[in-house]
Each structure stands twice: as C-alpha cells, then as structure tokens.
Amino acid sequence: MNQLAVEELDVTFDDKRVLAEAEFGVKEGEFFCVVGPTNAGKSTLLKTIAGLVQPAKGTVTIKGRNVTNTQPKDRNVSLLFQNMALFPNLTGFENIAFPLRTAGTKESTIRDRVVELAEMLKVTHVLERLPRTFSGGEQQRVAIGRSIVKQTDLLMLDEPLTNLDARIRASLRIEFKEIHKKLGQTLIYVTHDQVEAMSMSDRIAVLHEGEFQQIGTPEEIYKKPANRFVAEFIGQPPMNILAAQMYHNDGVSGIEIAGLRFPVPGIKQINDYNILQDKLAIGVRPEDINVSASSSLGTPHHADILWVEHLGSKSILDLRFGGITLRVKVTPDNPIAKGKSAWFGFEPKPDHLLNYQTNMFYK
C-alpha cells in the first residue's frame, strides 16, 4: 500500500491553475523527489499535501486515510521550508527537542533521541549553543533534526539545501541519503536541482508548469525521457536536440543531420514508428558521442571545437558543424580538448527520436 496517494489533484490561485491533474503514489520508506524549475508548482504541491493549501479538486490519502478535508495538525506530516526558522532564544538541543516537548514526551526519551540525532547530523558540538553562533550548514542540520525528531507518516522537505554553499550542499546530499536509509522515513524532497534529484532519490517526478511530465527511477528518467522538457532538464550538460531527416540508401537507413549521415542499427523497428519526416529531431547525450583526433569508423565526421569547459573530472567540448553546436563530454586527460578541431560520430538511439512539434519522443 502507498504511504501517500495523490489523485486528480487540481490547485488554482485566482482562477489560475498552478497544479493540474497531479496523480502519484509514494511507497512506505521511499525517497521521492519532485524536481522542476522555479514556479513549476513544487512548493504548492507540498503545501497541499500538508493541508496549508486547499485543492480545487482531487484527494490526498495518507496511510489509507483520506485527509483532503482535515486540518494540517491532524495529518501527522512534517514540512521543512527552504528558509528554516530556528528559535533564536533556544539552544540547538532545545530546537531539536521542541516537537517532542510539545507532544509531552518523557524527558529521558527526549534526551536519548536528540543526542542520537545530533550525532547522526554531526551537530553534537552546537547542542548547547544558540542559533546565532551556527554556520549555515549547522543551522540547516539542526532544522532537519527538528523536522525528523518526531516520527511522522510523511516528511516533506522544500529545497532544504538551496541556500547553502555548493561545497556544503554536496556533502549534505550524501549524508541525507544515509540518514534516510537509517531512519526509513517516507520522504518527499523538492528541488530545482536535477543533480540532487538524480543522486538521492528512489524515484523522481519531473514537474513543469503545474503538470507532471514523467515519474520514474533516476535511471528510467535519464535513459528514456518522456519528452523534450525532461530530456533537457535532467542531465548536465543537457541532451543535445538536433533537427534531423531519415534516409534510406542501399539497404542502410539512418539519420541525417546538416548533411552528415549517422546510420541507426535498429532501423527495422524505426519504420514502424510512423515518423513525420519534416518534424524529426534526434536527442543525443553528451557522453554518447565519440571523438578522436583522426577519422575512424566511429568518428567519420569533422567539426571545429568552439569552446572547452574544463570541469576537473570531465571536460565539455562545444563542437560546431553545419551551423549546429553539439556538446560532447570527454575525460579530463583527453588530448582532443587541447585542439582546434575533432572527428566525431555517434549511434542515434531509436528511443531518442523526437517529434519536435509535439516535443514527445516516438514510441
């Protein structure tokens, strides 16, 4: 049974629909991530589940109980906002302990629980101090501690890492995932950062302009994006989308881009796709493109190197051919990155044939 089920949920603000037909379930203990750009409707979704926003239609069911018309306090969920406010006059310990105190929990239980959590969150050293002496990362950890100290049926976190430095974010991502594994708490995590979504979640829901674009495991979403938005939003650098034509020549078929030909091995199936020639594009991931210093079977085409982005563990090349720019990912020691031009090639994937009028991938 799902811990949370959202069905046919519509939310409107002043006649403007900000969430349309939202429908998904979250399993018990799952790390479920909702990812999308600013104004996609992510925070509205969380507020609706928590009961802070009343939907125009649809239901929210938690542990089999329809809570759509119940008060926030009766839903047994916790929600942590991006700008977490700690009580400035309470110590780290008392901030974390707060939800237990209001629930009238026994003193010894509170102590054990807070100390245990503080250890897990690496904030033992700030327990006796006041929040104004905390660093950004410490504040965030204490706020997280407060939101998880009392086990609820559902924990919701709204962009919890957004205000932090990049370096702290990266290390908290891993800690978060480990803490989640230890506690087994059902979690909905909202972010605009696809790296967070990909690296931490069991499943991801991609939200854009109030509509769910796709729900699946990180692997599914990355390998088989449902539409152009997902393809370009997930993955960094984004998937290349290039206008293309089909060709059939001497029993070989494939894709033609700006006059260059790329044979597709699985072409027999492609004929069944019912492809509209004049609206065809192909998606290619930057890591699926081969490059070399000389012409070869896998790299039959030539392009100029416009720009190289050195990112340490990888380099990104911007290749230019026939008026098209193609982003390619290479290993940092690849000598190609030092040159002015390169030979390249790739094998188009039938899953990544796009109708660029509907922006849907052919099935």
Partner 1 sequence: MIQSNANAIKLEIRDLRKVFDGAEAVKGSNLTLKRGEFLSLLGPSGCGKSTTLALIAGFLEPTSGEVLIDGNPITHIPVQKRRIGLVFQDYAIFTKLSVKQNLLFGLEAQKVRRVEREKSVAEFAEKLGLNGLMNNRGSDLNMSEMQRVALARVLVTKPELLLLDEPMSNLDAALRASLRGELKQIQKDLEQTVLYVTHDQIEAMSMSDQIAVMNNGNILQIDSPEDIYRRPQSRFVAEFIGEPLINMMSCEVFSTSDALLLSTQAHKEMRLQRGWGESGKYLLGIRSHHITVEHEPFSGSVGVIVKLVENYGSEHVLHVIYGDESMTVMVSPGFAREGDNVHVAFDLKDVSLVDPATDQIHHPDKLDETA
Residue type (1 letter), 144:
I
CB of 29 to partner 1, least distance (A): 15
Shortest Cβ 310–partner 1 spacing (Å): 6
Cβ-based neighbour number of residue 301 at 10 Å: 20
User: Helices 136-148 and 92-102: crossing angle, nearest 10°?
Assistant: 20
Spatial CA neighbour of 124 closest among 92, 86, 168: 92
Asked, as a colleague might, if the bond just before 55 is cis with ω within 30 of 0, I would say no
Of the pair 54, 331, the CB lying nearest partner 1 is at 331
Q: Which is nearer to partner 1, 29 or 58 (CB)?
A: 29
| Type of residue found at 145 | G
Q: Which is nearer to partner 1, 117 or 172 (CB)?
A: 172
Q: How far apart are CA 156 and CA 120, in angstroms?
A: 19
Q: How far is the CB of 354 from partner 1 (least distance, A)?
A: 18
DSSP state of 355: E
Closest to partner 1 by CB, 185 or 194: 194
CA–CA gap between residue 315 and residue 291 (Å, rounded)? 12
Q: Which is nearer to partner 1, 279 or 310 (CB)?
A: 310
- Cα radius of gyration rounded to whole Å, the chain: 25
Running DSSP on this structure, what letter comes out for residue 234? Answer: S
Instruction: Say if residue 298 is exposed, middle or buried (CB neighbours under 10 Å; 0-12, 13-18, 19+).
Output: middle
CB of 218 to partner 1, least distance (A): 4
Nearer CB in complex with partner 1: 13/307: 307
User: What are the angstrom distances between the C-alpha of 189 and each of 1, 36, 225, 351?
Assistant: 20, 12, 20, 29
Distance of closest approach, residue 199 Cβ to partner 1, in angstroms: 4
Sheet (strand 290-292) strand order: 290-292, 341-345, 301-310, 315-321, 324-330
For partner 1, give the closer residue by CB, 59 or 199.
Answer: 199
Helix (H, G, I), strand (E, B) or coil at 63: coil
Nearest approach, Cβ of residue 279 and partner 1 (Å):
24
Q: Toward partner 1, which CB reaches closer, 136 or 266?
A: 136
Q: What does the binding site for partner 1 look like in residue numbers (CB under 8 A)?
A: 37-38, 136, 165-168, 170-171, 173-174, 177-178, 181, 192-195, 198-200, 218-219, 222, 232-238, 285-287, 307, 309-313, 316, 318, 329, 331-332
Cβ–Cβ under 8 Å, residues 26 and 4: yes
**Least distance in Å: CB of 138 to partner 1?**
12
Compute the least distance from the CB of residue 44 to partner 1, in Å: 17
Tokens standing for 90? 């309470």
